[in-house]
Every structure is written in C-alpha cells, then in structure tokens.
C-alpha cells in the first residue's frame, strides 16, 4: 500500500483524487497533493499512466505546495506551488513545458490562482506562467497559457540519433531536460521509424534523451514528431518544441542575442500548434492551449495491486 493517500470516499477506502488534462494532446494525470503526503512510487505512477489498465497519460503532475516539498522549500518565497513531474514510466524529469502549462490551468480550475501571472516551481527552477483571460470573454473558452521557459543550452557536441539501424546528425539542446533535434525531409518516414525506440550516445546523454524529428513547413514554421524519454512517441512536447525552435533558428542563421530582435517560430505537433519566441536575452516563451478534461477518483486497486 502506498502511504497516506487522500481518503475521498469512506474511511475504508483510500481512493486518490485526480484530474486529467492536456496541452496540445500531451496528456497528464494531475494529482492534487497540497500537503505533500501522497507517496507515489515509480511503479504506481506507471500503473496510473497505463493507457489500458490505468487512467493513461504521457506523464503525471503532482501538485504540491513548495513549503511541503523538500526539493522546493528553498523557493517557497518565490512560488507557492511545485510541479512534481513524473514520466509515464514513473521516472522523474527535470521539466515539462506542456505539463507546467496544464499545471497552471489546474491551479486556475481549482480556484487556487486567478488568470494572470503565476510562478510555478519545477526541478528546473521557478517558471513564470501567464494564464490569459478567457479567449471569448464569455467564460466559455479557455485562453492560451504562456510559460517563460528560461534559456536553452546548446553544447557544441554534434550527436547522432539512430533508429532501427538508420542514423541522422542531430543538435544537442538542453531545455532543463535533454533533447536531440534532427532535421529530416519527411516526417512520416520519421514516424514509421519511431516504431522502434531512438538511440543517442549515452556519453552525451547519460540520463537518456528526448528525440525530435523536424521538417520545414515554411519560413520560421516547422513541424515535429517527438519520442519522449520515459514515455514513447507523444503528440506534443513543450520543451521539445522549444528545443526545435532554437535549433531551427541557429540552422537558419538567426540568433536574437546577435540581432537584438526576438524571433518567433511556429511549431506544429501532432496534437496542435505551439508558438515559440526567443528573446535577445535568451529567454524562450512558449504559448499554446491547456485544458482540463476530466476529474475523478483513482481506485485503490491501481494504488495497491497486491
């Protein structure tokens, strides 16, 4: 039995409240745990994220007050909430760009914040998130959510991505988490190849890597497919879209730090469109939709299958 789940039905059951949300179809199970008392071992997260026997998700967002989490206590004066992000296999990731936007949508949905600026603590630092007011002004449509993702690190090491015996040169981009970005002619071809897991050198990526294949769609407009570390091919990846935008800009000879002008790329993902702007100081902003689609209770059988 996992420890200290939040009782929701009766004292004899220990169900756990959850919500489900997505950002451009990168989907997450959200577990509110303000006091940081819910124990979620990797195997439990993997069962919850299982698409057949569980709820299903590319990852899990545990919502904990910074003051109640040992990894976030030191930034409690900067942000009230900490995103404890887990991949679908239960592994911990430093950052999730779509996840933090969905996290902010949850905070708004739960009445814990109002639209506007919301700082969220992550393992990759405190991110400033902006929740736009409802797009229609009528309360019927959720406005987009923007997150200031911080700067990309672009180590010079050229890397190679290999899938099913075929290899591509790729750009190493770190967005708080590791990415390998490979430009291809034909994304469908890349999609076929994602039927096998991609590999990139463990010497460069000792903790694994997220792999993006990118094809051009027009000036400062690209499309990507992504295979996420700790998940599989997903329909979107926010950090991946940022890594792709920066890699595409450098390939196109564009560097806002040199020109003093921000540059914006449209990044199509399988689940929608993300808009990525890199500013002259290196700050990268990502904007896109984020929605809550369900809420309910996780049955104890998923939490303790024994």
Ligand X SMILES: N[C@@H](CCC[C@H](N)C(=O)O)C(=O)O
User: Binding site: what residues are annotated?
Assistant: 26, 87, 97-98, 177, 210, 228-229, 238-239
Stretch that binds ligand X, among 160-168, 230-238, 270-278, 291-299 (CB under 6 A): 230-238
Residue closer to ligand X (CB basis): 75 or 173: 173
The reply to whether 96 sits near ligand X by the rule CB under 6 A is yes
96 is catalytic: yes
The residues that bridge with 158 in the sheet, in sequence order, are 171
Stretch that binds ligand X, among 48-56, 105-113, 129-137, 225-233 (CB under 6 A): 225-233
Alpha helices in the chain (DSSP H): 42-49, 97-109, 187-193, 238-251, 256-259, 300-303
CA–CA separation, 29 and 294 (whole Å): 10
Residue numbers in the known binding site for substrate are: 26, 87, 97-98, 177, 210, 228-229, 238-239
Among 230, 256, 271, 288, contact with ligand X (rule: CB under 6 A): 230
CA–CA separation, 2 and 53 (whole Å): 18
**222 near 250, Cβ under 8 Å?**
no
Q: Which of 61, 224, 237, 286 is catalytic?
A: 237
The reply to whether 237 sits near ligand X by the rule CB under 6 A is yes
CA angle 83, 148, 295 (to 5 degrees): 40
The reply to whether 177 sits near ligand X by the rule CB under 6 A is yes
Quote the strand ranges of 78-144, DSSP E: 81-87, 116-122, 125-131
Among 97, 143, 198, 289, contact with ligand X (rule: CB under 6 A): 97
Q: Which of 30, 96, 187, 267 is catalytic?
A: 96
The reply to whether 33 sits near ligand X by the rule CB under 6 A is no
**148 near 133, Cβ under 8 Å?**
no
49 is catalytic: no
CA–CA separation, 257 and 279 (whole Å): 7
Among 33, 84, 212, 228, contact with ligand X (rule: CB under 6 A): 228
Residues 103-162 that bind ligand X (CB under 6 A): none
The reply to whether 90 sits near ligand X by the rule CB under 6 A is no
Stretch that binds ligand X, among 166-174, 223-231, 267-275, 294-302 (CB under 6 A): 223-231
CA–CA separation, 286 and 238 (whole Å): 8
The residues that bridge with 212 in the sheet, in sequence order, are 181, 226
The reply to whether 198 sits near ligand X by the rule CB under 6 A is no
CA–CA separation, 26 and 288 (whole Å): 12
Stretch that binds ligand X, among 32-40, 96-104, 187-195, 216-224 (CB under 6 A): 96-104
Residue closer to ligand X (CB basis): 15 or 54: 54
- For the bound state, the minimum distance from the C-beta of residue 142 to ligand X, rounded and expressed in Å, comes to 18
**106 near 98, Cβ under 8 Å?**
no
Which residues are catalytic, by number? Answer: 96, 237
């Amino acid at each position: 039995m996992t420890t200290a789940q939040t009782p929701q039905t009766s004292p004899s059951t220990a169900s756990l409240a959850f919500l489900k949300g997505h950002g451009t179809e990168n989907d997450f199970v959200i577990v509110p745990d303000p006091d940081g008392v819910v124990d979620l071992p990797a195997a439990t997260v993997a069962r919850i994220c299982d698409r057949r026997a569980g709820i299903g998700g590319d990852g899990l967002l545990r919502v904990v007050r910074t003051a109640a989490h040992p990894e976030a206590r030191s930034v409690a004066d900067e942000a009230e909430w900490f995103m404890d992000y887990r991949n679908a296999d239960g592994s911990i990731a430093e950052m999730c760009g779509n996840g933090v936007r969905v996290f902010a949508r949850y905070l708004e949905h739960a009445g814990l914040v109002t639209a506007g600026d919301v700082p969220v603590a992550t393992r990759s630092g405190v991110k400033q998130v902006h929740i736009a007011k409802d797009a229609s002004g009528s309360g019927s449509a959720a406005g987009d959510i923007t997150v200031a993702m911080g700067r990309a690190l672009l180590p010079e090491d050229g890397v190679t991505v290999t899938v099913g015996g075929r290899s591509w040169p790729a750009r190493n981009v770190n967005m708080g988490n590791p990415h390998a970005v490979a430009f291809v002619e034909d994304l469908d071809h890349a999609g076929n190849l994602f039927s096998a897991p991609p590999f990139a050198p463990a010497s460069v990526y000792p903790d694994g890597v997220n792999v993006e294949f990118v094809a051009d769609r027009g000036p400062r407009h690209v499309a990507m497919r992504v295979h996420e570390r700790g998940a599989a091919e997903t329909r979107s990846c926010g950090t991946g879209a940022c890594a792709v935008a920066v890699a595409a800009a450098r390939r196109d000879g564009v560097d806002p730090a040199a020109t003093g002008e921000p540059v914006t790329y449209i990044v199509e993902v399988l689940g929608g469109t993300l808009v990525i702007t890199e500013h002259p100081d290196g700050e990268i902003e990502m904007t896109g939709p984020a929605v809550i689609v369900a809420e309910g209770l996780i049955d104890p059988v998923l939490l303790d299958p024994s």
